[in-house]
Structure 1
Amino acid sequence: MEKVKGFADWLTKWFTAIVVAWAVFNYFVPATSVWAKSYTGYLLGIVLFGMGLTLSLDDFARILKQPLMVIVGTVAHFVIMPLVAVLLCWIFRLDGPLAVGVILVGCCPSGTSSNVMSYLSRGDVALDVSIGILSTLCAPFMIPLLMQWLASQYVTVPAQSLFINALKVVLFPIALGVVCHMVFGKKIEKVTVALPIVSQVAILLIIGVVVAANQPKLFSAATLMAIPVVMLHNLSGYALGFGFSKLMYKVYPKGFRYAQQKAITFEVGMQDSALGATLALTSFAATPLAAVPSTFFSVWHNISGSVLSSWWRNHDDKHAIAHDSANGEKGSLKADAEDHEAVA
């Protein structure tokens, strides 16, 4: 079991580099993954089933304990990222499948990587997880609604297909995982050790399918334009998510403190790009190019998230900012220590 956990930790640590290497390999040898194109829905279902296995009723109860912050964070995610996607498509004059792909990834729920980044930056992981759960549960309803509203100018949006596919690959696997957790209890812990490996292998296969399916067009001038769009989309999400949480601190300072601001920043800026790629390949099967922005996003947001979480941690240490400070006040860590000494 220790070897499995060790391999899972290694895979997580080097996942971004492995994704890049795997994508390059599939570009030159597309037959490696193209066979899995019809199974992408099942692959993502496995990932979300694994997510369900790690959830308990306490995770859902946590949403009810702090509903305002979780709902506000979820609403911010589904407002900021889709609208930024549309704005960037307009600025960069993207159209057709690429514009649809950028908007689709913008309409997706937050990615599970945000939980890791929030933890590394000393953010409120519990809030991060809660927003992630709620946004994922809302995805089958929000994605078709937002796509119909924002992307119908580019292509005919198959709203019914999006809804059914999202329902199949999101809600059903998560619900099944939660039920299994409830039935088998602690026995599930023996399985959950290997879940990161299973999930990451499934995501690698999905990325391989996207690269293989688009190999002839992947590095055309039009496709490469999606790279700066994806980067700006993600970075704008961080900036607007942080700005929004700072604004909410002025409205409700007890709830939107420094740790919560970090969590909302990552929850807004990081997307479930694997879901975006899967829905693009299933609901927009005639134009697989729509899955490319999700693949670019998958690589980029792991890089940017790692850099931001590392910078945030170093910034807090340098300025002695306590992780539980009200609004990131410099010297708050020293002030807390002095207060403890005074009490002692």
Structure 2
Amino acid sequence: MNQIKKLCSFLSSNIAVFIIIFSVIAFFYPKGFSWATNYTTIFLGVAMFGMGLTIKAEDFKIVFMRPKDLFIGCLLQYTIMPLAAFALAKIFHLPTDLALGVILVGCCPGGTASNVITYIAGGDVPLSVGMTMVSTILAPICTPFLVYLLGGSWVEVSLAAMMLSVVKVVLVPVLGGILLYHIFPKQVDAIRDFLPMVSVISIVMIISGIVGSNAEKIITCGALVMIVVAIHNGIGLALGTFAAKLLKLEEPKVTAIGIEVGMQNSGLAISLAAANFAANPLATLPGAIFSVWHNISGTLYAGLRNRKQTVKAEQTGAETATEAV
């Protein structure tokens, strides 16, 4: 049992590595993974259901105890990334499919991987979890509306159809998980350590399926998408951090908000692209590449923030010791 728990922990901590490995395999052996695109919505629903199972009733206390922090975080989440995506699509003159895909990523809520990265970075984990939870619950309204507003420059967007998609693949599974945990807390607690593995497998299959289905097209436009995705993610991390500092929040909160803003639920972006924009198949590609990149950049960002906070703590300790002398 302990060995399985260690395996689950290892998988969730190294999700970026597994995404890269399976994406490379899918690129060279597309037939082995392209079938997964038919089940993108199911895989994402499973991942969201797993997220719901990890949410306890007391987790909602943060909404009432720290409304200001959550409001600031979610406001930055749903402004910086959508506007940055729109600006990049215009600046790089992206083709319709790719522009739509980048905007979809920008308009999505925070991803659950951000909670792990925040922990590694020494950030405010409860705030990170609260932001992910609140932004996800707001997603059925915020995400479709922002895509309708910004993506309408390239394609016709059905606001109602997209809202229904987000409700089906995000809200229903998450609420279902929360309800199941409320009814069977002991049983869910018994399998809690295994839930990350389910989410990891689901996300890896989503990304591998997209890579396998678009292997040939990745050769022609993969570099461009990678550049745009890296810039987009960097803008989120940098501006999220800068805005939180500007508002004079404590360093752990700054770290949590910076990570939460920069790391998106790109699996949702892929699912929405597949379900609502079948005529634009490459719209799934930015989300797939973002899934790989934001885990890598998030880990690097966490290292920098952790080091900075450690140095600051050491300087504070030295100053206190000097004053005592």
Give the TM-score category using the shorter length: over 0.9
Equivalent-residue separation in structure 2 for 1:147 and 1:242 (angstroms) = 24
Partner of 1:331: 315
Given the alignment, which residue of 240, 257, 262 partners 1:269? Answer: 262
Partner of 1:291: 284
Equivalent-residue separation in structure 1 for 2:119 and 2:46 (angstroms) = 24
1:38–1:110 Cα change, 3 Å: same
What is the letter of the counterpart of residue 239 of structure 1? Answer: A
TM-score (norm: length of structure 2): 0.96
Once the two structures are superposed, residues 185-243 of structure 1 have per-residue CA deviations (whole angstroms, 9 ceiling, x without a partner) of 132112111111111101111011211221221110x3421111100000111110011
Equivalent-residue separation in structure 2 for 1:95 and 1:332 (angstroms) = 51
1:45-194 to structure 2, matched below 5 A, reads 45-194=45-194
Partner of 1:326: none
Once the two structures are superposed, residues 67-116 of structure 1 have per-residue CA deviations (whole angstroms, 9 ceiling, x without a partner) of 11101110111000000011111111113010000000000001111111
Equivalent-residue separation in structure 2 for 1:309 and 1:36 (angstroms) = 32
1:335–1:177 Cα change, 3 Å: farther
The answer to which of 304-313 and 166-175 deviates more is 304-313
Equivalent-residue separation in structure 2 for 1:315 and 1:269 (angstroms) = 19
What is the letter of the counterpart of residue 309 of structure 2? Answer: D
Partner of 1:316: 309
Equivalent-residue separation in structure 2 for 1:171 and 1:154 (angstroms) = 27
What is the letter of the counterpart of residue 24 of structure 2? Answer: V
Once the two structures are superposed, residues 5-30 of structure 1 have per-residue CA deviations (whole angstroms, 9 ceiling, x without a partner) of 11112212332122111111111221
Higher relative contact order (CA 8 A, sep 6+): 2
What is the letter of the counterpart of residue 331 of structure 1? Answer: Q
What is the letter of the counterpart of residue 24 of structure 1? Answer: V
Equivalent-residue separation in structure 1 for 2:262 and 2:89 (angstroms) = 17
What is the letter of the counterpart of residue 211 of structure 1? Answer: V
TM-score (norm: length of structure 1): 0.90
Aligned residues with identical type, % of pairs = 37
SS, match of residue 169 in structure 2? helix
Equivalent-residue separation in structure 2 for 1:334 and 1:176 (angstroms) = 50
Equivalent-residue separation in structure 1 for 2:118 and 2:320 (angstroms) = 22
Equivalent-residue separation in structure 2 for 1:290 and 1:50 (angstroms) = 26
Equivalent-residue separation in structure 2 for 1:259 and 1:337 (angstroms) = 23
Partner of 2:247: 248
SS, match of residue 194 in structure 1? helix
1:332–1:194 Cα change, 3 Å: same
Given the alignment, which residue of 243, 250, 256 partners 1:257? Answer: 250
Contact conserved, 1:234 with 1:301, CA < 8 A, in 2?
A: yes
5+ long unaligned stretches in structure 1: 250-255, 323-329
1:163–1:313 Cα change, 3 Å: same
1:336 deviates by 5.8
1:275 deviates by 1.0
Contact conserved, 1:49 with 1:176, CA < 8 A, in 2?
A: yes
1:247 deviates by 1.3
1:338 deviates by 7.4
Partner of 1:303: 296
Once the two structures are superposed, residues 139-197 of structure 1 have per-residue CA deviations (whole angstroms, 9 ceiling, x without a partner) of 11111100111011111113222111110010100111011111111321121111111
Contact conserved, 1:114 with 1:266, CA < 8 A, in 2?
A: yes
Cα RMSD of the aligned pairs, angstroms, is 1.6
Equivalent-residue separation in structure 2 for 1:224 and 1:289 (angstroms) = 14
Equivalent-residue separation in structure 2 for 1:119 and 1:146 (angstroms) = 30
The answer to which of 24-33 and 330-339 deviates more is 330-339
Once the two structures are superposed, residues 44-88 of structure 1 have per-residue CA deviations (whole angstroms, 9 ceiling, x without a partner) of 111111111111111112111111110111011100000001111
Equivalent-residue separation in structure 1 for 2:36 and 2:279 (angstroms) = 16
What is the letter of the counterpart of residue 202 of structure 2? Answer: A
What is the letter of the counterpart of residue 224 of structure 2? Answer: M
1:337 deviates by 6.6
Equivalent-residue separation in structure 1 for 2:146 and 2:117 (angstroms) = 27
